Amino acid sequence: MAKNTAIQKILAAHMVSGDAVPGNPVSIRIDQTLTQDATGTMAYLELEAMKVPKVATELSVSYVDHNMMQNGPENRNDHLYLQSVAASKGVVFSRPGNGICHQVHLERFGKPGKTLLGSDSHTPTGGGIGMMAIGAGGMDVALAMAGKPFRMAYPKIIGVELTGSLSPWVAAKDVILKLLSILSTKGNVGCMVEFFGPGVATLSVPQRATITNMGAELGVTCSVFPSDEVTKKFLEAQGRGDDWSPLCADADAEYDRVIPIDLSTLEPLAACPSSPDNIKSIAELSGMKVGQVIIGSCTNSSFRDLSMVAAMLKGRQIHPDVTLAIAPGSRQVLKMLADSGDLAVIIAAGARILECGCGPCIGQGQSPANDTVTVRTFNRNFPGRTGTKGDQAYLVSPETAAAAAILGEFGSAEKLGIEFPQINDPDAFQIDDTMMIQPPADGTGVEIIRKPTIGNPPLNTPLPDALDGEIVIKTQDKTSTDDIMPAGVHLKHRSNIPEYAKVVFERFTEPGKPSFAQRAAAVRDAGRHGVILGRDSYGQGSSREHAAICPMYLGVKMVIAMAIERIHAANLVNFGIVPLTFVNKEDYDKIDQGDRIAVAGLRDAIMEDVVTATVTKQDGTSFDVQLAVKLSAEDRAIILAGGRLNM
């Protein structure tokens, strides 16, 4: 008798190699890819370096949604490169202004039962439509576009059983915030989440996508909803009914863990500063003054979300002490808001309308004032991500955010004295794909535009026979890729590695002291190897492979931590940096920045399960530490070569 989950069914249909045993290395076929401009430029440069004439996927789409400010020529230079290389390689190009990649892909391209690999950590949004949608580094996406399978560990599957239905003023955002309060942001590497149960049918596809989008903060590989009649109706409304296929778990499917959530018992929640799993109820925060509200991002910018906001704002003004900004997720959403009259309502209430893009979610504008509570419908509130040091960012649903904008403080939406608006998805969405540029059948004659601000992906050197290292930095728990490679105003340098590498770990630079880049360069120039020391959940957050590329450029050869998050660990391998974890976690406390670390016979050592390293303190004393090697045979071969491009 079959006992397969929906996830296992997708995996079985796409397995290329490996055994279906949790933790075992497997390879799966990738049907679709997506890139965005902040990570995509490097991905296509890597694709070019592989001498690939045309993508081998069923569909690949290049989106421009991150670097929209165009403060200087760098961003537009990237856009021109992306548009021309897409035409050359057989990739659909979504022009600037068409919308956020995850929102647009859900609307126009997502297909149940398919696999999607994206160079953005929130690619799992596609799980809301029944896809296995996985975030990865640009190198892995470039390899998928070249027709290579995606390497991963066969997952443990966490089943989330949904029962009941959401009460008024409780949103899909509160479902994922509740799950984050249970699972936290760490300890879930190697897992996937599957939703099942009678409560699933009460959630629309955009609501499901909100949940799978922010599921990325759990640290799981992806999250998947079944494909049912609700999915079919959504695709039909998008004019894509033929793309629907049913997908659900067998009645007797078995999960590695089951978490029950009764939707009817949930209440409005918030992720408090400065982690998505620091969860409190809105009731607990009631009365806290709010200075800024922003509604949008790939998590909460659907037509339903913003129609709800308009219904709450109708006939009202935002509080005089609050600024409210709205960022529609796609051109489709913006046009439908305009035609329905909801956009006029939002503007009349005093909101500022932002471009259909990622914008403030990645620190591109709308940074809050000092000592100001900012309430956002986003997915991350890592320290400083807003662009303001010491920020106080709270993550909530559109319903809670709109109430805060009107009240000027946290409080129940019921205080507004209005009846809960019943917002349903339309029977037909407005379809306008004119800002999607289809590639020519033969792109061999297309000239690829490469302006002077675009460089080439740097190559690493093969792994040395012995490591003569120095700890360049020691970080604490939950060091994110935002911490390693800041976004915001620095994003425009992502196609210029020497320039971008100057700001590695910029947030940890003390006034008047050398930066990480300066210290790492000094270690490299002295003929030694840079080593990064992290604690738990090192490399969480964004898929940005620059968090591996730029340290590699500065001479880093090894990262040691208690635990390294999945995407970042894969990026380290792709660029020839050895990721190791402590066998004895207590050893972390014995090592400091500036200590020397050596591994004799390194190339042979990483072929074993444990590496012995000798740490020499700055006072001359020394001791040995045991470091675990959790790498596949292919990972080890890549590291020995100095990275994927070297291979």
Phi and psi angles of residue 247, each rounded to the nearest 5 degrees, phi first: -155, 125
Reply yes or no on whether 342 is catalytic.
Answer: no
Sign (positive or negative) of CA dihedral 91, 92, 94, 99:
negative
Name the residue ranges covered by the structural domains of the chain.
6-265, 269-411, 467-487+494-641
- Give the pLDDT of residue 2: 63
Residue pair 375/292 in contact by the 8 Å Cβ criterion: yes
What CATH number matches the domain at 6-265, 3.30.43.10, 3.40.1230.10, 3.30.499.10, 3.40.50.300?
A: 3.30.499.10
Reply yes or no on whether 542 is catalytic.
Answer: yes
Same-fold call for 6-265 versus 467-487+494-641: no
Reply yes or no on whether 380 is catalytic.
Answer: yes
The whole-angstrom separation of Cα 132 and Cα 139 is 19
Token look-up 């548009």 returns: 83
Task: Give, in order, the Cα–Cα distances in Å from 606 to each of 339, 575, 600, 627.
Answer: 61, 16, 11, 10
Nearest Cα to 423, choosing from 168, 150, 164? 168
Residue pair 269/280 in contact by the 8 Å Cβ criterion: yes
Phi and psi angles of residue 633, each rounded to the nearest 5 degrees, phi first: -60, -40
How far, rounded to the nearest angstrom, does the alpha carbon of residue 394 sit from its chain's CA centroid? 18
Question: Which residue is catalytic, options 37, 60, 62, 66?
Answer: 66
Contacts of 218 (CB under 8 A, 6+ apart): 179, 180, 183, 184, 185, 188, 191, 193
Cβ count near 525 (within 10 Å): 9
Residue pair 604/466 in contact by the 8 Å Cβ criterion: no
Strands (E) in 589-639, as ranges, are 596-599, 610-616, 622-628
Residues with pLDDT less than 50, the chain = 1
Question: Which residue is catalytic, options 122, 380, 528, 568?
Answer: 380
Q: What is the value of pTM for the model shown?
A: 0.94
Residue pair 333/306 in contact by the 8 Å Cβ criterion: yes
End-to-end CA distance of the chain: 44
Task: Give, in order, the Cα–Cα distances in Å from 540 to each of 182, 477, 626.
Answer: 18, 10, 24
Reply yes or no on whether 371 is catalytic.
Answer: no
Strands (E) in 39-107, as ranges, are 59-63, 92-94
Q: How does pLDDT run across 119-162, given as a tens digit for each residue?
A: 999 999 999 999 999 999 999 999 999 999 999 999 999 999 99
Phi and psi angles of residue 483, each rounded to the nearest 5 degrees, phi first: -65, -40
Please give the structure tokens belonging to residue 626. Answer: 């045991």
Reply yes or no on whether 120 is catalytic.
Answer: yes
Nearest Cα to 597, choosing from 583, 609, 587? 587
Question: Which residue is catalytic, options 120, 277, 425, 482?
Answer: 120
Residue pair 450/101 in contact by the 8 Å Cβ criterion: no
Question: Which residue is catalytic, options 480, 542, 587, 595?
Answer: 542
Contacts of 255 (CB under 8 A, 6+ apart): 5, 157, 158, 159, 194
Top-tier CATH class for 269-411: alpha beta
Indicate the CATH number for domain 467-487+494-641: 3.20.19.10
The whole-angstrom separation of Cα 161 and Cα 11 is 21
- Give the pLDDT of residue 127: 98
Cα atoms in the Cβ-side hemisphere of radius 13 Å centred on 540: 32
Task: Give, in order, the Cα–Cα distances in Å from 629 to each of 198, 461, 503, 533, 582.
Answer: 43, 20, 29, 15, 9
Question: Which residue is catalytic, options 14, 524, 544, 636?
Answer: 544
Question: Which residue is catalytic, options 31, 37, 65, 391?
Answer: 65
Reply yes or no on whether 66 is catalytic.
Answer: yes
| Peptide linkage before 274 cis (omega within 30 of 0) | yes
